[in-house]
Amino acid sequence: MAQLTKEQKIKDFDINAPAAAEANLFGLPFTEQESNIVILPVPWEVTVSYRGGTAKAPEAIKQASLQVDLFDADVNDAWKNGICLLPINKKWKQTSKQLRKKAERVIELLSNGTSEKNKEVKKLTKEVNEAGTKLKSWIKTEMLAQITNGKLPALLGGDHSTPLGFMEALAEKNPSFGILQIDAHCDLREAYEGFTYSHASIMYNALQIKQVSKLVQVGIRDFCQQEMDVAKKEGDRVKIFFDRDMKRSMFEGFSWKDICDAIINALPEKVYVSFDIDGLEASLCPNTGTPVAGGLQYEQAVYLLWKLATSGKTIIGFDLNEVAPGKDEWDANVGARLLYKLCNLMALSQTQKKNTKSTNEKKWEVEKEQAD
């Protein structure tokens, strides 16, 4: 039997029908070659510092995605772009499981007052860090291949340490770009708990990439003095929109649109979106590894991403991380819906002409300083 072309698949595909149980992400029929958007799953959670489970997210989100209706009011016929989730790498999944036990041992020893110079701590930490370097290299190679093939790339974690290799791949193809990070945490700790590639160190590591011209953090509400010192040292390169400041401004009469205008104005023309699910309000991600009270509502996050996609700035890639499946599908369900919006809005951003600046974009600004 002759292989159907993408055009034939689009013609024959019924978006109103229930998805087949064994279908690919969102029930779509497209292969990697036929898809404009290709997502690399990374089932990795070695350095999580509180609760585990996020290594199971790619498979859980894939299953939950079959419940997502494909009509998107923001992007007509978005599904026709083609979205493909690459196969989950069993080797990295198993490596994560094995090394997680060793990382937990390091965390246990350090929390009990053992020195970082302890022989066992040093041995285990080295092993974890070496594996992190190998994972980063693998991800970079995989993502460079997708970018070279003209795909719109995305990464699905796994913990928030995973996208560093992706960012390095983008840096080889883009002389300058910014990062929009939606997160409860700054993730600006240097080698947290001794782990170079800790999930709490992803943005510290990202700032070592010279092509990253700007880091804009949104929803931040849990951070340490060291992270504030790093942000201050970076000057205008890092801008933080604290959750507290945004909420208080809204209580006092500013709109979410005003705040989104300010966020987007702070970003350069090319933007990478790094979305930690704990940037959302905790009821939307109750099983995430490091939940924090406060955060964005789902529609606030989607509105911000939509404003970005229609601003004339280009989303060059994204990651979604730290979704942790619970006893039911709620966390994965929210993650799947957010993943679909991220895919569709990234594609939409490729088609938008540069708009004139909003008259409200400077109406509301958050100063980058530690909360009183």
What mean pLDDT is reported for the chain? 93
230 C-beta neighbours (distance < 10 Å), count: 19
In a domain, 176, yes or no: yes
Tell me if 308 sits within 8 A of 39, measured CB to CB: no
In this predicted structure, what is the pLDDT of residue 22? 80
CB atoms within 10 A of CB 291: 21
Q: Report yes or no on 234 lying in a domain.
A: yes
Whether the predicted pLDDT of 23 surpasses 90: no
Contact status, residue 365 vs residue 262, Cβ threshold 8 Å? yes
Got the DSSP string for 125-153? HHHHHHHHHHHHHHHHHHHHHHHHTT-EE
Q: 14: closest CA among 28, 4, 34, 35?
A: 28
pLDDT value at position 20?
Answer: 83
pLDDT over 90 for what percent of the chain? 84
Task: Respond yes or no on whether the N-terminal peptide bond of residue 158 is cis (omega within 30° of 0).
Answer: yes
User: What pLDDT score was predicted for residue 371?
Assistant: 41
Q: If pLDDT is split at 50, 70 and 90, which confidence band does 355 have? A: low
Instruction: Kindly calculate the radius of gyration of the chain based on its CA atoms and give it in whole angstroms.
Output: 20
The residue type of 171 is: A
Using the Cα atoms of residue 156, residue 347, residue 366 and residue 239 in order, give the sign of their dihedral. positive
Place of tokens 């499946």: 325
Greater pLDDT, 166 or 372:
166
Number of domains in the chain: 1
Strand ranges (DSSP E) for 187-331? 212-220, 238-242, 270-276, 314-321
CA 179 from centre of chain: 10
- Split at pLDDT 50, 70, 90, the class of 359 is very low
- Confidence band of 361 (pLDDT split at 50, 70, 90): very low
CB 322 within 8 A of CB 276: yes
Terminal CA-to-CA distance of the chain, rounded, Å?
68
Which of the two residues, 193 and 331, has the higher pLDDT score?
331
Residue 86 lies in a domain: yes
Q: What is the DSSP letter of 280?
A: B
User: In this predicted structure, what is the pLDDT of residue 3?
Assistant: 86
pLDDT reading at 114 higher than 60: yes
Is 360 among the domain residues? Answer: no
Q: Within 10 Å of residue 170's Cβ, how many Cβ atoms?
A: 24
Closest residue by Cα to residue 125 from 197, 183, 40: 197
pTM of this prediction exceeds 0.85: yes
Describe the crossing of helices 330-349 and 298-309 by its angle, rounded to 10 degrees.
10
Range with lowest mean pLDDT among 19-28, 65-74, 161-170, 242-251: 19-28
Q: Is 345 contained in some domain?
A: yes
Mapped onto helix, strand or coil, the DSSP state of residue 225 is: helix
Is 358 domain-assigned?
no
Q: What band does 97 get if pLDDT is binned at 50, 70 and 90?
A: very high
Q: b or e along 81-109 (b: 16 or more beta carbons within 10 Å of the residue's beta carbon)?
A: bbbbbbebbeebbebbeebbebbeebbeb
Distance of CA 229 to the CA centre of its chain: 24
Identify the CATH number of the domain in which residue 270 sits. 3.40.800.10
% of the chain exceeding 70 in pLDDT: 94
Residue 370 pLDDT class (50, 70, 90 cuts): very low
- Give a yes or no: residue 213 inside a domain: yes
Residue 184 domain flag: yes
Full residue range of the structural domain in which residue 139 is found:
32-349
Q: Which helix (H) or strand (E) element contains residue 11? A: helix 6-12
CA 232 – CA 205 distance, rounded (Å) = 16
Average pLDDT over residues 295-307: 98
Say how far apart CA 253 and CA 241 lie, in whole Å.
17
